[in-house]
Structure 1
Amino acid sequence: MFKDRADAARQLAVRLAHLRGQHPLILAVPRGAVPMGVILATALDGDLDLILVRKLGAPGNPEYAIGAVDEAGHVYINPDVAAHMEMAYLAEETARQQAVMARRRAQYGAARIDPAGRLVVVVDDGVATGATLIAALDALRARHPARLLVAVGVAPPDALARLRAHADEVVCLQVPGDFSAVGQFYRDFGEVRDDEVTALLSAWRKTPD
């Protein structure tokens, strides 16, 4: 069990220490992974930005991801639910999550660093179904990074297998067979608020090179 997200980030930084000197672009998934992204970008002497992607919640159960959508509107749907999905609901949920991303992009003031030709590391505190990260990875792949890595604290085996098909490398600290939620593997898994993300990015931009 991790003490908190900072603990997981420091462990990931050790696993990724070989990237130092290659000036990686660290892309954090808001909101929980943003503090982790700051730690990784600092440890690896890289750049920091956000990858905005939102899960698409199931009808009547918004916490269960049936898929995900990125800022450009690329939609990934979990294969096990694709055949049963109502298109009207999917369109409504997609539009709702894109509106959230537009609001957050404006609020956070993220840098929008071009990933083309870069060594890119997408970081998240953990993965449940993998849908959100897969949407992020597919969107990034279309922007032609030189290499695309994923760094996560914890993920179940099936989600990890799906992620590996969409990235050049996946680094995951814990792969438990008994998985119910990401938060069960963190002693402190408190919510990261919007104002914290804004403050972290503002402080990062003011850090001398």
Structure 2
Amino acid sequence: MMFHNREDAANQLIIALKQFRHENAVVLAIPRGGVPLGKKISEALHFPLDISLIKKIGHPANKEFAIGAVGLEDEFFTETERTVSRDYVDEEIDKVREKLQKRYHQYMGDRHPVSLKNKTVIIVDDGVATGSTLLATVQMVQHQDAAKIIVAVPVGAPAAIRKLRTVADDVICLETPTDFRAVGQFYENFEQVNDREVIEMLH
């Protein structure tokens, strides 16, 4: 299946997500590409919309090797974190969280993040390649006592979708093509979403 653009992908996801329309739910969009889909889905199903901002923390000896991730209000770490000094971890958490808070304010203004406690949380992105961002997002949402976590994407690499199914309560993925190489491969129009567009959608 080829999606015309993100709006077309959102319209098709809305059909699949109507089964949750009577739940106490929140749509959590992954900036920037997930925001156009999240906005359309939240409006169609009358759910509040928020964004998820997460940044991984790398090992001091190899920044590419993630030892955990930090969100606006929570963080989680792998077992490897125990081999790293607490001072390093605390310093990285403070540094990353300050950047995330500035970015959240840039996108959302003075609004506070929506409480996810006891909610059905629908995490939305425009596609999944490795799944690392969505996996980290699911783990972060779990720490916020969500009642149910649903990942909703138009297209994803089969291996990434399999991984997500092991951590989320449900994964709605319209297409898992075996020839997956990149998300943009399945969109006729996959122009980058910029910060200005995200801000306009969220206000």
Task: Decide: shared fold, TM above 0.5.
Answer: yes
Aligned partners of 1:29 and 1:53 also within 8 Å: no
- Equivalent-residue separation in structure 1 for 2:6 and 2:77 (angstroms): 27
After superposition, the C-alpha distances for 1:181-203 in whole angstroms (9 at most, x for unaligned) are: 1111111111111111111111x
Where do residues 1-209 of structure 1 align in structure 2 (5 Å cutoff)?
Answer: 1-54=2-55, 69-72=70-73, 74=75, 98=97, 100-109=99-108, 110-202=111-203
**Cα drift, residue 157 of structure 1:** 1.0
Match for 1:5: what amino acid?
R
- Equivalent-residue separation in structure 2 for 1:153 and 1:4 (angstroms): 11
- Equivalent-residue separation in structure 2 for 1:97 and 1:184 (angstroms): 32
Deviates more, 1:65-74 or 1:113-122: 65-74
- Equivalent-residue separation in structure 1 for 2:9 and 2:112 (angstroms): 24
Aligned partners of 1:24 and 1:44 also within 8 Å: no
In structure 2, relative to structure 1, the CA distance for the partners of 1:190 and 1:132 (3 Å cut) is same
TM-score, normalising length: structure 1: 0.78
**Cα drift, residue 18 of structure 1:** 1.4
Match for 1:200: what amino acid?
M
Match for 1:116: what amino acid?
K
- Equivalent-residue separation in structure 2 for 1:133 and 1:105 (angstroms): 18
SS in 2 for 1:121: strand
After superposition, the C-alpha distances for 1:127-184 in whole angstroms (9 at most, x for unaligned) are: 1111101111101001111111000111111101111111100000110111111111
State the identity %.
39
RMSD over equivalenced CA pairs, Å: 3.0
- Equivalent-residue separation in structure 2 for 1:54 and 1:183 (angstroms): 23
In structure 2, relative to structure 1, the CA distance for the partners of 1:184 and 1:76 (3 Å cut) is farther
Match for 1:152: what amino acid?
V
Matched residue count: 192
TM-score, normalising length: structure 2: 0.80
Aligned partners of 1:70 and 1:98 also within 8 Å: yes
- Equivalent-residue separation in structure 2 for 1:197 and 1:36 (angstroms): 11
Provide structure 2 residue ranges, at least 5 long, that are not aligned to the other structure: none
Provide structure 1 residue ranges, at least 5 long, that are not aligned to the other structure: 203-209
